[in-house]
Structure 1
Amino acid sequence: MAFSVFFLASWLVISLFLVMKKKLSIIENTFVFMVILVININWSWIIEEELNLIQLTEEGMDFTAFLLFRSIIIPMILNLIHLSNTLLVSIVSLIILLFLAFLSTTFNMTNYINWNLGYDAIYYIILHVISYYTHKLFQKISNNEVRHA
């Protein structure tokens, strides 16, 4: 069940990203996506394998659903918030991410040992901030590059 829900969610997020008008170029989107992906993968490795704060499932399909959530859904949702830089969009994306994190515990994809949804909320807020400033940094670097060329 978890795989089908998270596959649907990743399919919807990707479809939404493809059909919406984008403010960022493909290079900016790719850069922000890759930065968030690298941070997300490393953070999940630290809290799951090194600190043992979250226990992952051993079941193949549920683990695949977790990988869809970690590697596709989270970076794509954080990439979608640049379509409208309003606080409402950031809050809605935070609620969606927390709901999907809740579903991952409900479907026993993850088991919180010394972790809770409050820590997830703090982590997602930090990811939002990193995503925003990564985008601004990339724009500043690309604008400086254009001026010097």
Structure 2
Amino acid sequence: MAFVLFFFAAWFITTTFLIMPKKISIIENTFVLMVILIININWGWIIYEGMERIELTEESMNYTAFLLLRSVIIPLILVTQLNLVHKSNTIFVVLVSLIILLFFSSLTSILNIADYVKWNLGFDAIYYLLLHVIAYYSLLFIRKIAYKEVTYT
């Protein structure tokens, strides 16, 4: 059941991202996606394996659902959110994406994908807010670097 829900969510978010008109270039989208993906995977490794704050399931389909969340859903929600920020109210879009991310985190607990040992949704909320900030500043960084090209020869 968990795999089906997370697979559908990954498919839906990917399709939404591909169909929506983008205000950010493909290079900027790719850079932010890669930065968030690297941070998310490393953070997960530290919290799940290193510090043992959250225990993951041993079942293969549920673990695949976790991998979809970590590697597809979270980064694409953040990149989609960055593309939507330019169109509408920034605070509203960030809050909606934060609520969606927390919903998926609570689903992992409900569907027995992850067991929160020394962790709670408050820590997840702080982590997701930091991911939003990192995504925004990585976008600003790539824009700053991209416009700093060599003009003197």
Structure 1 outlier segments of 4+, above 6 Å: none
RMSD between aligned residues: 1.2
What amino acid maps onto 1:140 in structure 2? Answer: K
1:21 is displaced (CA, Å) by 0.3
Distance 2:75 2:20 in 1: 16
The structure-2 alpha-carbon separation of the partners of 1:56 and 1:136, relative to structure 1 and needing over 3 Å to count, comes to same
Name the structure 2 match of 1:25.
25
Structure 2 residue 139 is the aligned partner of structure 1 residue 139: no
Distance 2:8 2:151 in 1: 43
Name the structure 1 match of 2:83.
83
User: Percent identity between the aligned chains?
Assistant: 56
TM-score with structure 1 setting the length: 0.97
Q: Deviations over 1:34-81 (max 9, x none)?
A: 000000000000000010000000000000000000000000000011
1:84 is displaced (CA, Å) by 2.6
Structure 2 residue 120 is the aligned partner of structure 1 residue 116: yes
Name the structure 2 match of 1:53.
53
Q: Deviations over 1:3-45 (max 9, x none)?
A: 0000000001000000000011111111000000000000000
What amino acid maps onto 2:11 in structure 1? Answer: W
**Length, aligned pairs only:** 149
- Which deviates more from structure 2 when the two are superposed, residues 79-88 or residues 113-122? 79-88
TM-score with structure 2 setting the length: 0.95
Distance 1:4 1:148 in 2: 55
Distance 1:147 1:31 in 2: 24
Name the structure 2 match of 1:64.
64
The structure-2 alpha-carbon separation of the partners of 1:45 and 1:148, relative to structure 1 and needing over 3 Å to count, comes to farther
User: What are structure 2's unaligned runs of at least 5 residues?
Assistant: none
What amino acid maps onto 1:7 in structure 2? Answer: F
1:109 is displaced (CA, Å) by 0.3
> Which has a greater percent of helix?
1
1:148 is displaced (CA, Å) by 5.9
